[in-house]
């Protein structure tokens, strides 16, 4: 159980009669109650100034003071120091302010002339209440610290449940805010696969594997900056990621190269767009899983070729011949290898890459069709529109107007 540290509560005596103030001050052994008289005031305005300047915990307040009466003083203090406790001093048994006093949280009231035993009894009750508040504050502080310490673990568990499809979107958004993440659907999901984690006989000790995984997370995290993101370990131990800001496709290749350079390890990393529906996270992450498994089967040549295409798709001069020259192989050999490993030709692959990027620009920007054509490697708007319609079944303008989706519904 958490024990409250010894606290001397600060007391203010506010009464316009000096003899009353003196009587209250001398009638109580304040130290034995864990209190001390921090200030005395003869009117309401002075009492307010002293209470705010000295962080008063308990205010003994006379109802009828000049400049500012007791109720007005308590209202102001309630606003400025809501944790302050009030005890009213009044000369009337008929307490006309009872309803207002209860609303302001008055603990009790003392009749003049002040009875010492009654005053001490009331003050003990106030002290118990303040002690309980401090114990509660300590519990809440400890709980908050514990939650803060466990945020990475909570994030990991949350992300795992989300990609497994165990959370509704509304529930997920609520938890995102609590976990310090953007309270909306991510735009990308990703995975970094390290083959060492799936081999039957690991080549290194578990402690070394965890050290390398931590280093990989640091490298990937730096490359994802400044995009809002979270990294986590999925059920297979691989590094999962959710991003709330889009990063370029070449980020995956950059991460793979950086891990190879600094850690001398080979990984496969893949990112997917997240659809704006309830199953978007799950399907995007599953697509990432399948993609890195496919990537693991690719030769270094095809992986490098694909990376260069993703980096240079906006260049109209990018051809099979120029790509082969950059990779120092013959165009025939490159074409045959791409077809064998990717199941598609160079022309189809680069077209798919360009159209995929064009779709992102059509959905996420107000760029003109000509500007999108130029940004995706097409010499002319006409050539771009022809290629787009051949792949998508509608023109770029039609796609932007939603015609593709209308046709899907119609069919």
Contact 179, 151 (CB under 8 A): yes
- CB environment 331-346: b (16+ within 10 A), e (fewer): beebbebbeebbeeeb
What confidence score (pLDDT) does residue 377 get? 94
Regarding pTM above 0.75, the answer is no
pLDDT per position as a tens digit, 82-115: 888 888 887 765 455 555 555 566 766 677 777 8
Report the distance separating Cα 88 and Cα 13, nearest Å. 10
Helix (H, G, I), strand (E, B) or coil at 343: coil
Element of type H or E holding 116: helix 116-163
164-296: CATH, from 1.10.287.610, 3.40.50.410, 3.40.1410.10, 3.30.70.270: 3.30.70.270
Domain ranges of the chain: 9-137, 164-296, 298-411
Domain 9-137 has CATH 3.40.50.2300: yes
User: Domain 298-411 falls in which CATH fold?
Assistant: Arc Repressor Mutant, subunit A (1.10.10)
Greater confidence (207 vs 90) lies with 207
Greater pLDDT, 372 or 91: 372
Return d(Cα 282, Cα 45) in angstroms, integer. Answer: 63
pLDDT of residue 204: 81
How confident is the model at residue 4, as a pLDDT?
A: 43
Q: Is the pLDDT of residue 327 over 80?
A: yes
SS3 at position 58: strand
Pick from 13-17, 92-96, 237-241, 398-402: least confident: 92-96
255, two tokens: 């991460």
């Amino acid at each position: 159980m958490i024990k409250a540290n010894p606290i001397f509560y600060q007391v203010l005596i506010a009464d316009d009669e000096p003899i009353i103030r003196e009587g209250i001050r001398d009638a109580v052994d304040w130290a034995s109650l864990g209190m001390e008289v921090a200030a005395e005031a003869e009117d309401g305005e002075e009492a307010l100034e002293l209470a705010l300047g000295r962080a008063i915990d308990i205010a003994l307040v006379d109802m009828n003071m000049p400049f500012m009466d007791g109720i007005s003083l308590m209202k102001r203090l309630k606003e400025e120091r809501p944790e302050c406790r009030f005890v009213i001093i009044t000369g009337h048994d008929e307490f006309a302010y009872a309803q207002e006093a209860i609303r302001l949280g008055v603990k009790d009231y003392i009749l003049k002339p002040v009875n010492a035993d009654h005053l001490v009894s009331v003050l003990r009750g106030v002290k118990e209440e303040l002690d309980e508040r401090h114990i509660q504050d300590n519990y809440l502080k400890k709980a908050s610290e514990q939650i803060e310490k466990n945020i990475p673990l909570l994030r990991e568990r949350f992300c795992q449940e989300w990609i497994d499809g165990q959370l509704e979107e509304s529930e997920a958004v609520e938890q995102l805010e609590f976990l310090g993440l953007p309270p909306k659907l991510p735009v990308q999901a990703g995975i970094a696969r390290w083959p060492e984690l799936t081999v039957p006989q690991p080549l290194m000790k578990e402690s070394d594997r965890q050290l390398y995984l931590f280093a990989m997370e640091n490298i990937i995290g730096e490359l994802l900056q400044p995009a809002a993101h979270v990294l986590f370990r999925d059920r297979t131990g691989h590094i999962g990621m959710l991003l709330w800001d889009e990063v370029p496709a070449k980020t995956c290749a950059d991460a793979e190269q950086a891990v190879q350079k600094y850690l001398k390890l080979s990984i496969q990393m893949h990112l997917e767009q997240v659809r704006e529906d309830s199953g978007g996270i799950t399907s995007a992450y599953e697509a990432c899983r399948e993609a890195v498994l496919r990537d693991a089967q690719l030769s270094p040549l095809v992986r490098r070729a694909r990376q260069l295409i993703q980096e240079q798709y906006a260049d109209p001069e990018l051809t099979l011949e120029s790509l082969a020259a950059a990779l120092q192989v013959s165009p025939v050999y490159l074409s045959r290898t791409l077809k064998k490993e990717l199941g598609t030709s160079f022309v189809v692959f680069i077209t798919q890459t360009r159209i995929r990027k064009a779709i992102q620009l059509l959905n996420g920007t107000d760029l003109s069709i000509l500007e999108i054509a130029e940004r995706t490697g097409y010499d002319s708007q006409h050539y771009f529109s022809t290629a787009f319609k051949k792949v998508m079944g509608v023109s770029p303008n039609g796609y932007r107007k939603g015609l593709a989706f209308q046709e899907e519904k119609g069919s």
